[in-house]
Chains A and B, each alone.
Chain A
Amino acid sequence: MKGLRNVSSRAITVTNRLPTIPGRRSKRVKVFQKPLISGPLSYRDKPSCNKSDASPPVRKYRVTVQENLCTFAPVGRRARPVGGVAASAVLLVLTGVGAFAQGGRGAAPAPPSDPHDLSGVWELRYDSANVARASLLPAVNDAALNTQLAKDRHAVRWCNYVGLPQLMNGTIDIVQSDREVVISSEARSIVRHIYSDGRKHVSLETFDNTTNGNSIGSWQGNTFVVDTVGFSDQGVTGIPGGGFRTTGSHLVERFRLLSGDRMVVTSTWTDPKVYAKPQVYQYIYYRSDPNYVPRLTACDPFDEERAQLLTDGPRGQ
């Protein structure tokens, strides 16, 4: 299965014919080809697709599915060494086809400049979420779900820290150093620290569980993989698609930059007390306007009108 990484790292070898020195062999140089097409093609407004969307090769391109994202990639493996003119022609044709294929909405989205730099302010939009219905264990019945819902409502009512996954459900600010990636949210939550210095998880015997848990991250190619354990059952515990966070929950997130200032995060929750099979969902974040300044959402637990709305529900005017 092809992905963006394969496209962007594809290299072709061409023969350099300028200038040819008598008695010397022509030099062979390796030219790294810029991503010709990266990102969805006809799926630009469709954040995700199913495997059924994968198509057979058509006109040298193939729509493939990677982590439920449609990707439009050139068909074929690494190009054989070809002459300079031929290489130029191939590049021209491919680029031309690519530009045409991007569709009539202006220039093609720019590829990420550094695929390992997630820093920036990111926001969700109306078309950001691809969430499947969770497969819950039989023990997680209506009564259990109602209990969890009541706890979440209490947490919202009293402005408790929301924690994961709720803090990711809005605008987030990512800053990364060489040792960790921090994610702060406009939601009322503690900052997430994702340690990327090669350490292991802290011992859960000594760790005081938190609403964000203990996160460690590492790069696997161009994907930042984050592993989180050590959750508390406090805060807003609901998980998209159904189910909820418990002290036994385990979360794996995969962050990957897409073209056009977008980032996809695939979240996989497992919990032997909640899920019959892992709960997987995907968000696409869009880079915010560079002038946007994220700020913590205000919350006053002693605002009586707000409290009444949250506990009694809306009333007739």
Chain B
Amino acid sequence: MKSGVIMQIKTHSRRAAARDLAWRLREKKTFGLVAFATAILCGAAGSAQPPSVPDLNGAYVLEDVEGSGSWTGMQTRYPKADLLNPQAGGPGGGGRGGGRGMATDGKPHGPGETYVVGNGGCGTSGVPGMYSRSAAISIVQGKDAVIMAAEVPGARHIYMSAKHPDFSALPRSAMGYSTGHYEGDSLVIDTVKLAGGMVAGGGRIGPDTHLTEKYRLLPGGKRLELTFTWSDPSIYRKPHTYQMFYAKQPADSVALEEWCDSSDPRQKESITPPPQQ
């Protein structure tokens, strides 16, 4: 009797163990299937992931790589634009009333002498002028946008998502409208609808001008290479390309403010720099 009970218990236990084993196997099988599907999905997701994003965050200051010694001098070092109509004039590009650095009286001025260059109106950020200033450029890489700002009013908002606003109905502006993407170690930006103005190397901006910029950190990570390419079949015979270089500032740098008050009469003036060493 006793053994019969034990037998029953053992039998029951065996059956229970068998059921448990079946559950476990089923669970394992299910787990295996889930694991297999997950691995496939992960693999697919991995192959569909965007390329790694280069870290361009930080502040950058324009370098005078040619040693031209002045901001105006730097402008003369860029390759000349191949224009369809070199005689056609363009709108002035100076931030203080046009022709920055050019005396309005047309007379030569000696070193240290001040002269009037414009009306004294304070400029705002604009493309490409903001990249030629002595003030630092900040690059901030967000989730769906990159912000580029100088230390004057305004900022470029570069849409990094394929889903961006429709720019077609918007008016031309100093910043234009930009979309961007990453290509390997570079940030590539396309910009349209820029307001008129001058471009380094004698180029111009028209209503249909297209700008492509490529930002890349050079080996070592301390210098930024920026390649501008301007294309507009109504202005250029071939795309106008040139490069600028920037020194990356220490990570703990802070953005400053290039203060400007249009009511200050000194805002109208410039000064001839002394001879450079």
Contact = CB atoms under 8 A, between A and B. Distances in A.
A97 interface: no
B67 to A, nearest CB: 28
Nearest to A181: B140
Contact of A207 (B57, B145, B149, B254): B254
Nearest to A175: B142
A208 B256 contact: yes
Contacts of A294: 157
Contacts of A296: 124-125, 153-154, 174-175
Given A182-B147, A290-B165, A158 B254 contact: no
9 pairs of A and B residues whose beta carbons are closest in the complex: A175-B142, A210-B257, A184-B155, A301-B262, A191-B149, A296-B154, A291-B165, A158-B263, A193-B255
Contact of A291 (B19, B125, B157, B166): B166
Interface of B: 16, 19-20, 23, 57, 119, 121-122, 124-125, 138, 140-147, 149, 151-155, 157, 163, 165-167, 170, 173-175, 177, 251-252, 254-257, 259-263
Contacts of B163: 290
Interface in A132-153: none
Nearest to A230: B254
B20 A24 contact: yes
B20 A190 contact: no
Contacts of A234: 259, 261
Given A184-B157, A189-B153, A190-B152, A161 B259 contact: yes
A113 B122 CA distance: 41
A175 B140 contact: yes
A214 B259 contact: no
Interface in A172-203: 173, 175-177, 179-180, 182, 184, 188-191, 193, 195, 197, 199, 202
A300 B121 contact: yes
B119 A302 contact: yes
A196 to B, nearest CB: 11
Given A180-B140, A182-B147, A207-B254, A293 B165 contact: yes
Which of A117, A179, A292 gathers the greatest number of chain B CB atoms within 10 Å? A179
B57 A177 contact: yes
A138 to B, nearest CB: 32
A22 interface: yes
B269 to A, nearest CB: 16
Contacts, number: 123
Which of A154, A157, A208, A293 gathers the greatest number of chain B CB atoms within 10 Å? A293
Contacts of A295: 173, 175
B157 A177 contact: no
Nearest to A20: B23
Contacts of A157: 263
A301 B145 CA distance: 32
Given A175-B145, A296-B153, A301-B121, 9 more contacts: A158-B261, A160-B262, A175-B146, A177-B57, A193-B138, A208-B256, A232-B257, A301-B263, A302-B121
A161 B153 contact: yes
Contact of B20 (A23, A184, A292, A302): A23
A159 B264 CA distance: 12
Contact of A22 (B16, B165, B177, B256): B16
A57 B142 CA distance: 43
Nearest to B259: A234
A293 B16 contact: no
Contact of A182 (B19, B122, B149): B149
A190 B262 CA distance: 16
A197 B254 CA distance: 12
A212 B165 contact: no
Given A159-B262, A188-B153, A179 B57 contact: yes
A179 to B, nearest CB: 6
A296 B146 CA distance: 17
A293 B261 CA distance: 28
